[in-house]
Chain A
């Protein structure tokens, strides 16, 4: 079994990109692969706790479920601060990190990288 890193660069409510990324993550886990997720740019909005969409899937809930099942989920600190996301506001099990440390480590450890972006 392999390691898959998914980079998400679209925000929660922009389109269905985040849902595509998280469906891929779930399918990979079910097939026995290890999954790492790095959120960059608008993608950092995925880790904001307290999301409450009325007509769309709750990406926050899915992300929390993935984190509790062992998926490493990290967002870019600089991108988060630029959008007003502070430490302590992230969903349980996710981490505010950096592209230079965390993402580069994810990529070096992974067999495949998938970018979900516009």
Chain B
């Protein structure tokens, strides 16, 4: 089964249903959060909702800090930089899906 890296760009409040991830994922699945999607990592309810449907959650440090939440990412998330994002895209997951 292919592993999938889901790319999220929008605010948690613009995603009404995360079950689409369960439908689309095959094998290993993670979410990588850019821009307003980094707010998933600081909102407890939405963070746990996301962690229920993927194995790992990665948060882009620059985008989190730009929104005033430096070092505030919640439990279960990993804060990374752009070079690490490239490693995930090119080496660690078979495909990406942008939601």
* Nearest CB in chain B: distance from A47 CB, A: 21
Q: Is A69 located at the chain interface by the 8 A CB criterion?
A: no
* Nearest CB in chain B: distance from A25 CB, A: 9
* Nearest CB in chain B: distance from A12 CB, A: 15
Given the interface contacts A2-B90, A4-B89, A33-B90, does A24 sit within 8 Å of B82 by beta carbon?
A: yes
Q: A residues within 8 A CB of B82?
A: 23-24, 26-27
Q: A residues within 8 A CB of B95?
A: 112-113
Task: Tell me what chain B mostly uses at the interface: helix, strand, loop, or mixed.
Answer: helix
- The one of A4, A17, A23, A26 in contact with B90, judged by C-beta atoms closer than 8 angstroms, is A4
Q: How far is the CA of A20 from the CA of B96 in the complex (A)?
A: 15
Q: Is B68 located at the chain interface by the 8 A CB criterion?
A: no
Q: How far is the CA of A41 from the CA of B74 in the complex (A)?
A: 35
Q: How far is the CA of A111 from the CA of B9 in the complex (A)?
A: 22
Given the interface contacts A114-B7, A116-B9, does A15 sit within 8 Å of B86 by beta carbon?
A: no
Task: Tell me what chain A mostly uses at the interface: helix, strand, loop, or mixed.
Answer: mixed
Contact residues of A with B, CB < 8 Å?
2, 4, 15-17, 20, 23-24, 26-28, 30-31, 33, 111-118
Query: When A and B form their complex, which 7 residue pairs have the shortest distance between CB atoms, in order from nearest?
Result: A27-B82, A115-B98, A27-B86, A27-B83, A28-B86, A20-B34, A23-B82
18 contacts between A and B (CB under 8 A): A15-B35, A16-B63, A20-B9, A20-B63, A24-B89, A26-B82, A27-B82, A27-B83, A27-B86, A28-B86, A31-B90, A33-B86, A112-B89, A112-B90, A114-B7, A115-B7, A116-B98, A118-B10
Contact residues of B with A, CB < 8 Å?
7, 9-10, 34-35, 62-63, 81-83, 85-87, 89-90, 95-96, 98
